[in-house]
A = this chain, B = another copy of it.
Amino acid sequence: MAIRMYDLCGAEAERRFSPFCWRAKMALAHKGLQIETVPWRFTEKDKLPQPNAGRVPVIVDGDRVVHDSTAIADYLEERYADRPSLYGGPVGRGLARFVQNWTETVLQAGLIRLVLVDIHRHLGPEDQAYFRGDREKRFNTTLEEVVKDREARLPAFRSSLDPLRRTVERQPFVSGEAPAYADYIVFGAFQWARAISDFEVLASDDPVRAWRGRMLGLFGGLAASAPAYGAAA
């Protein structure tokens, strides 16, 4: 039986943009597991299986419900230990946490200030009201103010990617010769931006963009074939 995964979507059910859901989808594909996704919107908190935290991703595997992308990766690694490893052992697992913390405090924190208003444009009316209220409270200003002057801030954002850039300049993937969970963590952030914004955050000759292209091509083009903006690679 396929694993069921609740996956954040916009007004269009096929536009899936949560960076955390992309982490989980790539991890499930890495393990070679079949899934069926359930499109889910911000305001459908009561449609999620229990237990949950009102957020996605949530997966249902037989009678197990697991929520939170990190918990899902840990669950898959243990439950499907005979399949390709997401972490490559305890050190790889520990270091994936560092990559995650960099992704959340630097990469996603930078990206949100470039594409926040574009997320809003892709939501249905009910979700738009929720999203504007929640995010404007969080940023203490309007969505439009958050992304203002994004062109001017682009060089600083691109410069903040130096640790990632140097890494994928010198080896094919963040995790080395082959992709693993840390790659999916970083990629989730770029796929999120790409899914809802036509604002290209990477220069055409950026090694990070070449890596993103390699990620888009994985698993038969799983991420490349999803509704998004920009070139598939």
Q: Which of A161-195 contact B (CB under 8 A)?
A: 162-164, 166-167, 170-171, 173-178, 180, 182
A83-114 vs B, Cβ < 8 Å mask (1 yes, 0 no): 00101111111111111011011100000000
Cβ contact of A164, chosen from B90, B98, B171, B176, cutoff 8 A: B98
Chain B residues positioned under 8 Å from A102 (CB to CB):
98, 102, 163
The answer on a CB contact under 8 Å between B176 and A105 is no
**Count of chain copies:** 2
Chain B residues positioned under 8 Å from A171 (CB to CB):
94, 97
Residue of B nearest to A180 (CB): B91
Query: What band does the interface of chain A fall in when counting residues whose beta carbon is under 8 Å from B?
Result: 20 to 34
CB distance from A135 to the nearest CB of B (A): 21
CB distance from A161 to the nearest CB of B (A): 10
The answer on a CB contact under 8 Å between B90 and A177 is yes
The answer on a CB contact under 8 Å between B164 and A94 is no
The answer on a CB contact under 8 Å between A98 and B163 is yes
